[in-house]
């Protein structure tokens, strides 16, 4: 079902891409229609209105700056020649939209809006004043992150909303005001304004406003669906911020549908981006990734460079959360290149904060601090609640990684206060989750538990899978450190349940074509024999009767046998399905039990002061992980008895690198053929790999620091060849006489595989294991 849904999404996206020529089909035909009507427009307000409507479509649809500016020139021409100077305000509003949608020039946009408001006031054109004021408020909010200034601007124009103002313009202003109120901590009042705006727009769709200046519906109404979808998106995002995820998803889905119907590249891409943000904030990273990728695909080969840069930023963010740090770095690099070139301090500071956190996730503490030094230059630009809170959140994470728990707690509490003030629930959840870790590190387990339980309740309210999972793991650590092992195991079990991939048995019985074919052939053969017998008994009527009886009996017997065979076959297949499900469940439970054992060892390790004992326990944990990983691979794949070694070795190696964390830069080179091994072979091979890789990471590079670790597995002359080589300092001279437990285990497992182990000690340590495939394969 999941693959079917993904396939359908791809077809939908291809349909959208083919359809515009998104911007050359529906949107272009709309533009063409308006261009035809515009040819008959009379000089004055009639031509001004058509030019405003066309400029809005050219700028917001294909991002056509040249044709947009041509329409603006028509507005200015009419303003001068027809002596309607107030019309210049509409031209300036369109220039502002070019600055926002195409050139990303915030200063030009803001200046154009202010000048438009000045002209509108001078000539008492309230419609232009409200239109320009709403646009200015949007620029303060989206381009500057200054919510208070945005609110003040909207409140300044509200008294001018009289009968001369197009209700569409009033609805837009109310929608903007509602969004701002939710950002400034007044959600209920904000929702009221947004719902009122949507209701007004829907009524206008059924009963449009007749503009008295032109005696008809304004050309701007051609874009009404787009206005409605923006209003729905604003309401959706606000609902999500305040812990109503299902309502938010429904509004977002409706907005996406309207965007798709518009067949406008930028609008559809933007809506997919917002849906991606919706899922990313709820912790559904795979769904977020799908939507961000669809958004980016639509923007490729377009002139929307600003929106493409933003898309790269969101992809970097979700890839970081999915722990694909290299891909995240690539996307972020592309995004930052654009925002550095445009010198956009608001968005560049946002990119830098993400970059600092990304370096921290990669284990690069020094690089993370270095990035934050550059962020300090942009602190005045961090006006928005999100960025201001994120600034202190990042400083807290750096302090925690530096083992400065008091500073970490201080920054997390500061971030929490910022988020709580503006009622940003997702930020509150993030800060409280961080405080659990900080108080645990500070050994204040009572505080850690308090914040953990509080945050967990919020995570469930927000349906945030990522934070639910993380909080159960953090609470497990809290209880383990506080010697409450029953609670620790209980929370760790919840963590593993949320962390595992969901699988289910396939309820459909798959018919085996070969067996069906054989059954059908058997019936046809028996029928042919019966017909031959009938021909042999045609001499008398009695023989005809006997033949008929015989033929009928054979056919009935054949049908009986066929139905019984089919029934038996289906039962066998159902039994097979039951056994497959049972086998999956067994692998799943074995893996969970091994993880619980590993967790117990981890708890015990924290209490040990003897370094040798602690090392022995940690080695035991890594051996358990090598076996647990095999069972995880088996229950999460279609093959219940064979392990795909390429995936297994890559994941095991990554785990060991993360566990032992060599001090230098050790590059890993993995070259594994597509080989499947049965579980009886895969477990000893995994344990051998665990010993060889962990020994290399612990001992090989302690002197040289940097180096390379090569792992390969291939089939050669009908036997497997497993090689693990490092470029480190090599094995000690007395290695063969004083082998540790790990190497003794390698030798025992080599005998179990009936293999041959060759050890070389030139230019580093080189282990080559050759063994034959199991007969079960």
Read off the pLDDT of residues 699-727 as tens digits, 9 standing for 90 and up: 888 655 678 899 999 999 889 999 999 98
Local structure of residue 323 (DSSP, 8 states) = T
Classify residue 219 by burial, with Cβ atoms within 10 Å: 0-12, 13-18, 19+: buried
Is the separation of the CB atoms in 168 and 209 below 8 Å? Answer: yes
SS3 at position 362: coil
Scanning 362-404, the segments in alpha helix (DSSP H) are 365-375, 385-401
Query: How high is the pLDDT of residue 146?
Result: 83
Q: Is the dihedral of CA 425, 427, 432, 433 positive or negative?
A: positive
Q: What is the DSSP string of 39-88?
A: HTPPTTHHHHHHHHHHHHHHHHTT--HHHHHHHHHHHHHHHHHTT-GGGH
Distance CA 78, CA 46 (A): 10
Distance CA 601, CA 753 (A): 29
SS3 sequence, 114-164?
HHHHHHHHHCCCHHHHHHHHHHHHHHHHHCCCCHHHHHHHHHHHHHHCCCC
* 663 beta partners: none
DSSP β-ladder status, 707-716 and 666-672: parallel
Query: How high is the pLDDT of residue 331?
Result: 92
Question: What φ, ψ does residue 727 adopt, rounded to 5°?
Answer: -105, 30
| Burial state string for 130-142 with b = 16 or more CB within 10 A and e = fewer than 16 | bbbbbbbbbbbbe
Query: How high is the pLDDT of residue 679?
Result: 78
Helix (H) or strand (E) holding 726: strand 719-726
Classify residue 674 by burial, with Cβ atoms within 10 Å: 0-12, 13-18, 19+: exposed
Distance CA 450, CA 504 (A): 36
Is the separation of the CB atoms in 111 and 68 below 8 Å? Answer: no
SS3 at position 757: strand
CB atoms near residue 164 (< 10 Å): 14
379 Cβ contact list (under 8 Å, min separation 6)? 349, 391
Local structure of residue 244 (DSSP, 8 states) = -
Tokens 């500070």, residue located: 442
Query: How high is the pLDDT of residue 597?
Result: 66
The order of strands in the sheet holding 707-716 is 666-672, 707-716, 719-726, 766-771, 756-760
Tokens 């063409």, residue located: 32
Using alpha carbons, list the distances in angstroms from residue 777 to 679, 689, 720, 754.
Answer: 11, 21, 13, 16
Query: How high is the pLDDT of residue 661?
Result: 74
Helix (H) or strand (E) holding 671: strand 666-672
First to last CA, the chain: 31
Is the separation of the CB atoms in 754 and 774 below 8 Å? Answer: no
Distance CA 73, CA 54 (A): 12
Query: How high is the pLDDT of residue 514?
Result: 28
Is the separation of the CB atoms in 276 and 318 below 8 Å? Answer: yes
Which pair of structure tokens corresponds to residue 604? 């015990």
Helix (H) or strand (E) holding 169: helix 167-183
Query: What percent helix, strand, coil does the chain show, rounded to 5?
Result: 75, 5, 20
Distance CA 146, CA 113 (A): 16
468 Cβ contact list (under 8 Å, min separation 6)? 283, 456, 459, 460, 498
* Average pLDDT, rounded, for the chain: 79
Scanning 462-608, the segments in alpha helix (DSSP H) are 465-481, 485-499, 513-536, 541-607
Is the separation of the CB atoms in 352 and 371 below 8 Å? Answer: yes
As separate numbers, helices (DSSP H) first and strands (DSSP E) second, the chain gives 30, 9
Query: How high is the pLDDT of residue 529?
Result: 36
Give Cα 623 distance to the centre of its chain: 32
Which pair of structure tokens corresponds to residue 415? 């971030």
Classify residue 723 by burial, with Cβ atoms within 10 Å: 0-12, 13-18, 19+: middle
CB atoms near residue 21 (< 10 Å): 14
Say how many CA atoms lie within 13 Å of 767 toward its Cβ. Answer: 24
Low-confidence ranges of the chain (pLDDT < 70): 1-27, 61, 343-344, 379-385, 499-609, 611-619, 621-623, 625-641, 702-705, 736-739, 775-777
| Burial state string for 622-658 with b = 16 or more CB within 10 A and e = fewer than 16 | bbbbbbbbbbbbbbebeebebbbbbebbeebbebbbe
Query: How high is the pLDDT of residue 624?
Result: 73
Tokens 């993995």, residue located: 670
């Amino acid at each position: 079902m999941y693959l079917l849904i993904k396939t359908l999404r791809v077809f939908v996206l291809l349909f959208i891409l083919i359809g515009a020529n998104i911007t050359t089909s529906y949107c272009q035909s709309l533009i063409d229609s308006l261009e035809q009507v515009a040819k008959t427009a009379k000089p004055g307000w009639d031509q001004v209105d058509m030019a405003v409507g066309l400029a809005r479509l050219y700028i917001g649809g294909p991002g056509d700056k040249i044709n947009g500016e041509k329409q603006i020139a028509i507005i200015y021409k009419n303003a001068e020649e027809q002596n309607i100077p107030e019309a210049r305000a509409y031209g300036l509003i369109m220039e502002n939209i070019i600055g926002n949608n195409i050139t990303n020039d915030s200063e030009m946009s803001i200046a154009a809006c202010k000048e438009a408001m000045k002209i509108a006031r001078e000539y008492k054109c309230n419609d232009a004043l409200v239109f320009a004021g709403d646009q200015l408020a949007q620029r303060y909010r989206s381009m500057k992150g200054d919510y208070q200034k945005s609110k003040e601007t909207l409140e300044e124009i509200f008294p001018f909303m009289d009968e001369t103002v197009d209700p569409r313009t009033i609805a837009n202003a109310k929608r903007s005001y509602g969004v701002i109120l939710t950002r400034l901590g007044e959600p209920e009042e904000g929702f009221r304004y947004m719902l009122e705006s949507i209701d007004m727009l829907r009524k206008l769709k059924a009963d449009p406003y007749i503009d008295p200046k032109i005696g008809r519906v304004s050309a701007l109404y051609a874009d009404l669906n787009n206005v409605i979808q923006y209003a729905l998106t604003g309401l959706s995002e606000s609902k999500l911020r305040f812990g109503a995820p299902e309502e938010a998803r429904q509004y977002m889905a409706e907005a996406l549908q309207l965007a798709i119907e518009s067949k406008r590249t930028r609008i559809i891409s933007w809506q997919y981006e917002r849906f991606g943000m919706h899922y990313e904030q709820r912790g559904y990273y795979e769904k977020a990734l799908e939507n961000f990728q669809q958004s980016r695909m639509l923007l490729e080969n377009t002139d929307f460079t600003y929106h493409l840069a933003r898309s790269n930023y969101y992809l970097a963010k979700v890839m970081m959360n999915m722990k694909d740090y290299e891909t995240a770095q690539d996307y972020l690099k592309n995004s930052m290149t654009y925002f550095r070139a445009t010198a956009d301090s608001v968005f560049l500071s946002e990119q830098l904060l993400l970059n600092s956190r990304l370096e921290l996730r990669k284990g690069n503490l020094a690089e993370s601090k270095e990035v934050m030094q550059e962020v300090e230059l942009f602190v005045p630009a961090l006006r928005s609640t999100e960025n201001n809170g994120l600034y202190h959140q990042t400083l807290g994470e750096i302090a925690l990684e530096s083992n400065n728990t008091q500073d970490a707690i201080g920054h997390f509490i500061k971030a929490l206060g910022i988020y709580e003030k503006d009622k940003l629930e997702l930020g509150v959840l993030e800060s409280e989750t961080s405080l659990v870790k900080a108080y645990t590190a500070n050994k204040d387990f009572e505080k850690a538990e308090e914040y953990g339980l509080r945050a967990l309740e919020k995570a469930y309210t927000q349906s945030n899978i990522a934070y639910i999972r993380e909080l159960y793991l953090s609470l497990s650590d809290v209880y383990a450190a506080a010697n409450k092992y029953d609670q620790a195991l209980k929370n760790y079990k919840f963590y593993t349940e949320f962390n595992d991939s969901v699988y289910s048995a396939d309820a459909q019985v798959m018919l085996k074509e070969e067996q069906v074919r054989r059954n059908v052939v058997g019936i046809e053969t028996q029928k042919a024999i019966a017909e031959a017998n009938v021909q042999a008994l045609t001499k008398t009527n009695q023989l005809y009767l006997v033949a008929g009886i015989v033929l009928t009996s054979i056919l009935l017997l054949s049908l009986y046998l066929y139905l019984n065979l089919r029934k038996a076959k289906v039962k066998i297949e159902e039994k097979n399905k039951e056994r497959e499900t049972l086998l999956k469940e067994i692998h799943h439970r074995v893996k969970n039990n091994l993880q619980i054992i590993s967790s117990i060892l981890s708890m015990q390790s924290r209490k040990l002061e003897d370094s040798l004992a602690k090392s022995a326990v940690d080695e035991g944990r890594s051996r358990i992980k090598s076996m647990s990983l095999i069972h995880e691979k088996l229950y999460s794949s279609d093959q219940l008895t064979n392990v795909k070694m390429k995936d297994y070795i890559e994941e095991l190696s990554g785990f060991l690198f993360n566990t032992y964390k060599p001090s230098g830069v050790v590059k890993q080179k993995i070259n594994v053929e597509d080989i499947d091994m049965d579980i009886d072979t895969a477990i000893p091979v995994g344990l051998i790999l665990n010993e060889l890789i962990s020994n290399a990471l612990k001992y090989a590079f302690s002197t040289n620091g940097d180096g390379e670790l090569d792992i390969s597995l291939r089939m050669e002359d009908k036997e497997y060849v497993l090689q693990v080589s490092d470029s480190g300092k090599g094995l000690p001279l007395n290695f063969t006489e004083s082998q540790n437990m790990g190497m003794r285990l390698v030798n025992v497992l080599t005998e179990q595989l009936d293999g041959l182990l060759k050890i070389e000690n030139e230019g580093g340590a080189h282990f080559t294991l050759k063994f034959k495939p199991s007969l079960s394969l």
